[in-house]
Amino acid sequence: MKVEQLAVFLEDGSERLSDVTAILAENGISIRALSLADTAAFAILRMIVNDNEKAKEILQGNGFTVGMNEVLVLEVPDKPGGLASVLDIAKANNLLVEYMYAFVHKTGEAGLIIFRFSDPDKAMSVLDKEGVRVLSGEDIYAI
């Protein structure tokens, strides 16, 4: 199951991060996971929120450039080598990981990691066949 992720372009770098989070808070939108890639001139904020369409509309209405793309949220064993086992599956099946970031949720048995694969459909099929749990958007939004 693919999960939609917002990508917000921040022209003034991470200084605008507080604006984004305040706007979302004022509109009752919860951030479930985020990643910030920052350079001297701009930043890209990637987020999974509980209401993508509303967040996109509100942020665009406040002058932000917002895109949406699909990621996979994988349940990874919370033990040494847990992430390596998933990356080994990706490598063996020629799945290119474009980026990944951790999800702030821990059960003690598994961690959640967000992956952007170059071919998310192929990745879903391969990972499912290998027994890796791929969470749905509903699973994530409910956390």
Which residue's entry shows tokens 């770098």?
A: 13
Q: Apex CA 72: angle with CA 66 and CA 90, to 5°?
A: 125
Q: What percent of the chain has pLDDT over 90?
A: 65
Which of 42 and 45 is assigned the larger pLDDT?
A: 45
pLDDT one-digit tens code per residue, 56-92: 999 999 999 999 999 999 999 888 999 999 999 999 9
Instruction: Note the pLDDT of residue 17.
Output: 87
pTM score: 0.85
Place 107 in a pLDDT band, splitting at 50, 70 and 90.
low
All structural domains of the chain, each given as residue ranges with its CATH number in brackets, are 3-69 (3.30.2130.10), 71-141 (3.30.70.260)
13 confidence band (pLDDT: 50, 70, 90): low
Q: Which amino acid is at 115?
A: F
pLDDT value at 125 more than 80 = yes
How far apart are the C-alpha atoms of 103 and 19, rounded to whole Å? 22
- pLDDT for res 61: 96
